[in-house]
Amino acid sequence: MIEEIGPIVTLAACLWVLISAAVSARPWHRGLPMMLPALCIGLWAAGELGTLRAQTPEGVLFWRRVLWLGGLGLALSWYWAGKTLARSFEPGEGRVLLGVLALPLVAAYACLFVPNDSLLASWYERPPRHGWVFWAVLPYVWGLTLVGSAAFLATARRLGQSNPLRMGAIAVGSCFPIAAHIFHNLSVPVVTTDITPTFIGVGLVLMQVALFEAGVNGFLPVARRDVIEHLGSAVLMADLDHVVVDANPAARRLLAGREVLGRRLEEVTQELLHQPGACLELERFTVDGRFGEVGHFAVLTDRTESRREERKVLQTHKLQALGTLTAGIAHEVNNPLAFVRANLAGLEELANGMRDPHVRALLPPKLAELAADAPDLVAESIEGVERIGRLVRRLRSFARADGEQPGEVRRVSLGDVARKAALVASVGLPEDALCIVEQPDAPRVHANEDELVQIALNLIVNAEQASAPERVEIEVAVARVEDGASLLVRDRGPGISEAVLPHVFDPFFTTKPPGEGTGLGLSLSYDLARRNGGRIEARNRPGGGAEFELWLPSEEPLAFAGLSSAA
């Protein structure tokens, strides 16, 4: 019964190591280096325990085979675990090398399946009598174990930079296999049960605690790891060498399927921070465990949407400030405008009196000529003052932001709108730079004509500014479309980039250099179109250039018609 205590304790220790590694995050990536040696030691201890309790030769033979499977497998798994944790090669690499190294061990284990029991070891003797195959393979097994232990010591030295206690635990645990086996061979005459697996199991427990804490993700409690998995922020966990060992789903979504495990934490965070169009906030922390510093992790919070909302709030504040400014301007302009309008009314009466031929006959020839044109000049001045008045009322409406539509809403021809806007916009342009194409039966729309002229004027001026100086080619097309009428302004400029297209109607957004644009023309046009029940859409023109379409609803029935051109 006393001889069974060692194997039972070893089995319990191996079971604890297996469970600890299996419940860790990504056990097949980080836990496997400890799981395989624990499994082999468990087989060795189970073989020792089964041999002690076997009552038949067949039972003894079976448990001997289990014992040797664990003993020979431990040498190879110890070598692989040490080299993996020392990062001599990553998991999944070195498979061909491991296959070659396993061949002598497989050949030695095959001796248990031949009738001659003197090749490897006697099957039934206690203590066992070893054959020549045993003594031939023993140096090889010791060699693999020593290389693995040396790799563990290298890992202990690296991790010892943060805590000497961890280094000592790994160093002692890595030396147990050779020390225990030497002790067993020297004490065979006294102790018949192999205590090697017991010593190795204790050493494995020490290494499990030290190494898994250094792996950061292995020692996280299940509940805490579940919280990290469900966080909306990206979490990257790295070991003491700043190598990423785990990432939560949010981080993997940000990386868009790119591999992250095994890469440097700094490299991954910089790659995420420099993603186009993303605004991420980075926080880095050091993880402290029971043995001191055990790793690092980074938390990246996506602030893209909040920054977008902040920009919207900032634009709202700008618009409020602009509204206050325009209200003051409208008030200051309206007062002198009233005097000008009153004076022009008197001048209009005087100019109409000058139409009398008897009055003009009393004037010198030059003044008589001016008197003949005076009524027209005064009428044009009055029209200009009225236009300024409508603009002032529009500014006041914009400042109030009460949705009131200044001016008269009536049936309007988009063709007339296009011609009035072109009359102003074409000043200084070549005669063939601006072309109006109007469908003869384009339906009229119910809207405010002044506001539609302002929209068309903004679109034409925008197209003119987007065109190259040597090639100003603007087409304004008025046509019947489904459920309404459209006014389409096309240019042959560079077009609109995909990054700019979603923002062309944003307030204060402009691609012009500082000081050359306010970014309000298209935004105000968009607002005016919506107030008149329509909409504006922007897109790139096939063959190059951009086009803006103003659509307005109409109650007139749809009919087919061709196109005619007018300059």
CATH architecture for the domain at 2-214 = Up-down Bundle (1.20)
| The predicted structure's pLDDT at residue 476 | 93
What tokens appear for 110 in the block? 């095959």
The Cα 447–Cα 435 span in angstroms is 24
Q: Would you say residue 405 has pLDDT above 90? A: no
| The predicted structure's pLDDT at residue 259 | 77
The Cα 528–Cα 525 span in angstroms is 5
| The predicted structure's pLDDT at residue 485 | 92
- Reported as a pLDDT band with limits 50, 70 and 90, residue 404 is very low
86-101, pLDDT tens digit by residue? 766 554 556 778 888 8
| Neighbouring residues of 318: CB distance < 8 A, sequence distance ≥ 6 | 507, 508
Q: Would you say residue 469 has pLDDT above 80? A: no
The Cα 275–Cα 269 span in angstroms is 10
Burial label, 373 (beta-carbon count in 10 A; 0-12, 13-18, 19+)? exposed
Domain 222-302 in CATH 3.30.450.20: yes
Q: Would you say residue 59 has pLDDT above 90? A: no
For domain 409-566, give the CATH superfamily.
Histidine kinase-like ATPase, C-terminal domain (3.30.565.10)
Question: Does residue 240 contact residue 294 with C-beta atoms inside 8 Å?
Answer: yes
The Cα 466–Cα 474 span in angstroms is 10
Residue 283 pairs in a beta bridge with: 299
Alpha helices in 432-471 (DSSP H): 449-466
- Reported as a pLDDT band with limits 50, 70 and 90, residue 566 is very low
What tokens appear for 166 in the block? 């961890």
Neighbouring C-beta atoms of residue 45, cutoff 10 Å: 28
The Cα 331–Cα 352 span in angstroms is 32
User: What three-state secondary structure class fits 436?
Assistant: strand
Q: What is the mean pLDDT of residues 327-352?
A: 78
Nearest Cα residue to 525 out of 533, 536, 514, 515: 536
Residue ranges of the chain assigned to CATH 1.20.1070.10: 2-214
Nearest Cα residue to 102 out of 73, 70, 125, 134: 73
Nearest Cα residue to 338 out of 388, 398, 407, 374: 388
The Cα 187–Cα 449 span in angstroms is 109
The Cα 170–Cα 291 span in angstroms is 12
CATH architecture for the domain at 308-400 = Orthogonal Bundle (1.10)
Torsions phi, psi for 243 (to 5 deg) = -100, 130
For the chain, percent of residues with pLDDT exceeding 90? 6
What tokens appear for 43 in the block? 């087989």
| The predicted structure's pLDDT at residue 403 | 44
Residue ranges of the chain assigned to CATH 3.30.450.20: 222-302
What value does the CA radius of gyration of the chain take, rounded to a whole number of Å?
A: 44
Residue ranges of the chain assigned to CATH 1.10.287: 308-400
Q: Would you say residue 402 has pLDDT above 60? A: no
114-157, pLDDT tens digit by residue? 876 667 777 666 666 778 888 888 889 888 888 888 887 777 67
| The predicted structure's pLDDT at residue 11 | 84
The Cα 284–Cα 287 span in angstroms is 10
| Neighbouring residues of 26: CB distance < 8 A, sequence distance ≥ 6 | 217, 245, 246, 261
Residue ranges of the chain assigned to CATH 3.30.565.10: 409-566
Q: Look at the block and give the residue holding tokens 């225990």.
A: 180
Alpha helices in 499-556 (DSSP H): 521-531
Say which amino acid occupies 344: L
- Reported as a pLDDT band with limits 50, 70 and 90, residue 428 is confident
| The predicted structure's pLDDT at residue 161 | 53
- Reported as a pLDDT band with limits 50, 70 and 90, residue 518 is low
For the chain, what's the residue count? Answer: 567
Say which amino acid occupies 371: A
What tokens appear for 41 in the block? 């030691």
User: What three-state secondary structure class fits 547?
Assistant: strand
Q: Which residue has the higher pLDDT, 469 or 161?
A: 469
| The predicted structure's pLDDT at residue 217 | 42
- Reported as a pLDDT band with limits 50, 70 and 90, residue 552 is very high
